[in-house]
Every structure is written in C-alpha cells, then in structure tokens.
Amino acid sequence: MMNSTPKKYLKDNIIPVIQGDYHVTNNPEAMMKCVLGSCVAVCMYDAKSRIGGMNHFLLPGVGYHNSQEKSCGLNMMELLINGLLRFGARRKNFEAKIFGGAHITDGLSDIGAENAEFARAFLTYEGIPIISESLGGTHARRLRFWPSTGNAKQLKISTTEIDYVNKSAPKIQSISADVELF
C-alpha cells in the first residue's frame, strides 16, 4: 500500500497536517486532522479510487520570499493535486471540500478571507468541484478528514477554548456542536 506519510507521523492511522504541509494516502483507515484559524485546508479526493489528501496553507497565492513559498496556497494546491495523481487518482474524479479562513484577530487584515477566496478561485479555475465548504466567521476549527471516503468533520472552537490552549487555563467552555459534512 502506497502512503506519502512517513511512519513517524502515523499513530493509530492519524495523520496531522500542519501549516505549510500536505499529505496524500490510499490507506482506508487513515484520518487526517488539523487546526485552522485564518489558514485554509483543502480536502480533495477521488471517490472511485478511494485516494485522498489534505493541504494546510497559511497565505494565498504565491510567496514573496523563498521561506514563504512552502506555505502559500498556489504551491500547496499544486503539491496536493500532483500527490493525488502520483497515487493513481484521476483528475476527472476529484472533489474538494474547503475549511478555515476565519477572521481571528480584530484590527489586522482579513487574511482568512483572502485564503478562502484564493481556494475557491483556484478550484473553480481548475474545474475541480467544491462539494462543501465551511469558511469565514470568527472561530477557529478543528478538522478531521477521512481521505478514502471524503467524509469530513469539524468542530468550531470558541475563543474560551483558544484562551485555554494559549494560557493553559483550567477549563474549556462554550464549544459549538460538531458538524459533519459528507
């Protein structure tokens, strides 16, 4: 079974996808996960071949410096598509789901909206159907994606939980309900 993920990343078939990274697999038991704020994750899969992958990009378009290029949308989209093709997925069967793009911090530019717009425009231009999306808002998201089925599940994270993560507060409060997208 071909798998793009080094074994050191796998624990119980869970594959974390961090900022500036992507993974593609045909492992029917794999689940990919990430946490998104203003970043965007594109989950793409070929339902017929049961091959899928996820990317996680920080900035839209292309980077202005070599250090930014890795985590920019254009690079991450090309890596994801090429990874799927290398595994044997067929481009005509691709379907995408997109998540993230929140406006987390007041007073700063809305990079989340720019990331979301880039993802939509890229997929439209490439002729890859977006079958569902959860973009924008002011909440971060925890995302899980099962690449062999295309199923995705997100949990919106309240600002109270973000404070908990950042400040190690003793309590998590007010988390919105799970949303499953199939």
Q: Hey, how many other C-beta atoms are within 10 angstroms of the C-beta on 126?
A: 13
pLDDT, tens digit, 9 for 90 and up, residues 113-123: 999 999 999 99
User: How far apart are the C-alpha atoms of 152 and 181, rounded to whole Å?
Assistant: 5
pLDDT more than 70, % of the chain: 75
Structure confidence at residue 169 (pLDDT): 42
pTM: 0.80
pLDDT, tens digit, 9 for 90 and up, residues 46-93: 999 999 999 999 988 765 445 445 678 899 999 999 999 999 999 999
Structure confidence at residue 72 (pLDDT): 85
The per-residue pLDDT of the chain, averaged, comes to 83
Structure confidence at residue 93 (pLDDT): 97
Nearest alpha-carbon partner for 51 in 13, 17, 112, 1 = 1
User: How far apart are the C-alpha atoms of 79 and 74, rounded to whole Å?
Assistant: 9
| More confident: 62 or 24 | 24
Q: Where are the beta strands (DSSP E) in the chain?
A: 14-16, 21-25, 31-36, 40-46, 51-57, 94-100, 130-135, 140-146, 151-157, 179-181
| In this structure, CATH architecture of domain 15-181 | 2-Layer Sandwich (3.30)
